[in-house]
Structure formats: structure tokens, C-alpha cells
Amino acid sequence: MSQSTRRGFLSLGVASGALLGALRPSSLLAQAQTVARALGRGVSAYGERSRFETTTRLLRDSRHPEASSSRTPLQDLQGTLTPSPLHFERHHAGIPDIDPSSHRLLIHGLVDRPLELSLAELRRLPAESRIHFLECSGNSGALWREASVAAAHTTRGTAQSTHGLTSSGEWEGVPLSVLLNEAGVRPEGTWLVAEGADASRMTRSVPLTKALDDTFVAYGQNGEALRPAQGYPLRLFVPGWEGNISIKWLRRIEVVDRPYMTREETSKYTDLLPDGRARRFTFVMEAKSVITHPSGGQRLTNPGYHQLRGIAWSGRGRVQRVEISTDGGRSWEVAELQGPVLPRAHTRFRLDWTWDGSEVVVQSRCIDETGYTQPTREELIAARGLRSGYHNNAIQSWKVSPDGTVENIYV
Ligand code: CO
């Protein structure tokens, strides 16, 4: 049955019995209890969520929280934008406390006119805002290891613990091409080195082609200034590429004639292959998806109607299609995509589903506009071995047991 036909039946009420079977009958008493009898709280200068909403980031158990990570609760989010307080974090030397009035961005190296820009000067320049995901290349890394190691994760994996190092937002700033044009890149300039103002001096090389394409210098996140954990007051934003290269607390861009082989692109952020060679400069986060409902740690209370929901994304452009399997990958059905589908952005997908109460394995796979299809875990291991933790974009499998519990498994 096609999606449009199914929706037609729903609106005609044909499937209403199935839906109502999942709901309690109405109670007049319960309705009366929802009406306040006294004045509520007054207006406030800066908002907060309901005290009944308690979802939080998941902190990595670490003796050094300054060099650690926290993960977005994907299973609890709606739509596609990550609330700024729930955006994942990954820091290497803690969050610096930067006064924007004294912060400067230096653009120098192989340029005709070196620039030193204040925040006020940057905010005067032509701005753009764009919705993009940001994913750490280590996202889902633990799911890649040897089966014996990975077994430890099989019962405790949740969408947050396995996939929570991706988040999304609406970012505003100045296209880097505007700044580089003002500085005047010399013909021999082919790469940039971008440096952060944190204590680790996080440094990455960026090819000039990407810098001039869609890279920007961002000061806004979801309608307000960047959060300190996201680089306040200024970060590089390199759409679709591994999160580490979008340098936070950006203080310096040097135009150079080659990649500088910094620590973060030699000892880290390279992908070790089975034969001992390393893939270097693996920038793009390839097509990926995860079902967030049902997902690990959740429990389906009863058989019948459930909507399968999740997010898909690709660093190469738009999500073209998401397919869902409820039989461990033997057959696939096309999910409905929530528009507008934006390039290099989390895309919400949904599929109406009737769970018959038996054991099932649910999976999603993303196909992006280049035709690339998200691989199975088996295919990924065949191509890249078991020595790497970066760029794991394999299909995620969740097992729903007859008692309704959901857990991470490998198929
Ligand atoms: Co990489």
C-alpha cells in the first residue's frame, strides 16, 4: 500500500479502530484536573522548560570533563532542530570564557591584505543563516569494534549513546568567501589553517575549495549567540564535514600552500585500515540514519499502531530517500520525509507501522542525492576493517522483543 493511500484510509477513518486501540478512553474527571484554579507564574526575562521535562545530554564517564563529550538525546527530540542546551559537546581543553569585545579574528598568510576583525566588524558584513547538522566523526565509533568488545554495548545502547554525537541548528554568520575575497588570496594559496582560542589551540587544515564553497564563520545559533560550548563568540562552520574541523572559538585563519599535518589530522582523525595504512583527510560525513522510535532503552507498551520515527542526514547534500525494514533487512519500505529537505541537514522520517507483538528487528537506511546508500555494518567492516572508530555510518539495528523492550543488536 502506498503512503498516500494509507493516509487516505486514515483520514476516512478506516484505520481509526487500530489507532484508538492504543489509546485510553476519555475521562471527564481527568479533563477537570487540567484546569488551573489559581494564577500561574508570571512572565520571565529568559525562558526555561517545564519542570516535568527532564531529558538531558549524556555525559561520557571521564576523569577529565574538559577533554570529554556529551551526547544529544535524539530519542527525546521532535522535528529536526536541536535545542542549543542539548547540542552535543566535544572539547579537548575545556570551554574558554571569551569576552567578545576583545576577541579578534586574524586572517593572514598568503593574502594581499591581512585582516584583523572584531565581532562588531564581522556583524556588519553580509550575513547568511543556514540549517545544518554537525556530527563528530567519532559518532557511533563504539559500535564498530570487535564483537567481544561491542557485546558490552548490546543491551545498554540507546539512540543517544550510539548516535548522540550529531546535532543540528540554524547557524548565522559570514561566508568565508566574503572574508577571503577582502583579504585577497594569492594564487599559491590552496589551503587554510584554522585555529581556536581554547587551551588546546585546536588546529585543522581546510582546502581552499571548500572554504570558498559553503564554509562560513558563525556567530549565531538557533536565533541567539553561539553557546560557549559551541564556540562563543565565533566558530568556523564547514557544512557536512566532520565536526572537529568546524573550529570553535575561532581566532586565526592562515592561508597556506599545503595541509599542515596538525596533531588533529595525523595522530587523530585518520582512519586506520586493515593493512595498516591510514585514510587521511576523510572530511565528509556520509549518508546515515537512525530510528529514534522505537530505539534502545524504550519499551513498546502494547502491540498495534506505532509510528516509526527517526532522522537521516548526509554530508554530501540532501537526503533523497529513507527506507525502513522491520524484518532485519530482508525487505524495505520507503518512509515519508518531512519537508523541507535541506542539504546537509537532519531530515525527519516517519512510517506508520503495526507491531504484531512478535520479535522484530527494525532498521533504516539513507540514500542521498548522489545515489550513495548507507552501508550495512558487515559491508563497512569488509571495506574498512575493525581498527577504526571514525566515520561509522552503518545501518543501525534495534530489536523489539515480545515484551516490548528495545535493544541494540548486530545483524
Ligand atoms: Co575523518
Same domain, 94 and 209: yes
- Residue 241 Cα to ligand 1 middle (Å): 8
253 in helix, strand or coil? Answer: strand
Q: How far is the CA of 287 from the centre of ligand 1 (A)?
A: 14
pLDDT band at 147 (very low <50, low <70, confident <90, very high): low
Query: Ligand 1 center to residue 140 CA distance, Å?
Result: 13
Interval between CA 290 and ligand 1 midpoint (Å): 20
Instruction: Supply the range of the domain harboring residue 103.
Output: 89-279
**Do residues 220 and 301 share a domain?**
no
Q: How far is the CA of 250 from the centre of ligand 1 (A)?
A: 20
- Please report the pLDDT score of residue 32 as a whole number: 57
Domain assignment present for 41: no
* Residue 220 CA to ligand 1 centre (angstroms): 26
Q: Is the pTM of this model over 0.85?
A: yes
CA 296 to centroid of ligand 1, rounded, Å: 27
Number of structural domains (the chain) is: 2
Cross-strand pairs, 256: 191
**What would the pLDDT profile of 309-350 be if each residue is shown by its tens digit?**
999 999 999 999 999 999 999 999 999 999 999 999 999 999
Kindly state the DSSP code that residue 345 receives in the 8-state scheme.
Answer: S
- Ligand 1 centroid from CA 383, angstroms: 15
Mean pLDDT of the chain: 92
Ligand 1 mean position, distance from CA 311 (Å): 21
Residue 9 lies in a domain: no
| Residue 296 near residue 398, CB atoms below 8 Å | yes
Report the C-alpha gap between 204 and 214 in whole angstroms.
17
CATH, residue 265? 3.90.420.10
Last-in-domain residue among 236, 260, 279: 279
Distance between CA 44 and CA 110 in Å, rounded? 50
Q: Are residues 213 and 310 in the same domain?
A: no
Over residues 37-72, the pLDDT tens digits come to 899 999 999 999 999 999 999 998 788 999 999 999
Alpha carbon of 284 to ligand 1 centroid (Å) = 7
In a domain, 81, yes or no: no
Q: Say if residue 271 is in the same domain as residue 302.
A: no
At which residue does the C-alpha cell 593572514 appear?
Answer: 108
Pairing of strands 406-409, 397-400: antiparallel
Does residue 94 fall inside a structural domain? Answer: yes
The answer on 379 and 248 residing in a single domain is no
How many whole angstroms from 138 Cα to the centroid of ligand 1?
9
Same domain, 95 and 195: yes
Closest CA to 54 of 70, 71, 73, 82: 73
Q: How far is the CA of 76 from the centre of ligand 1 (A)?
A: 28
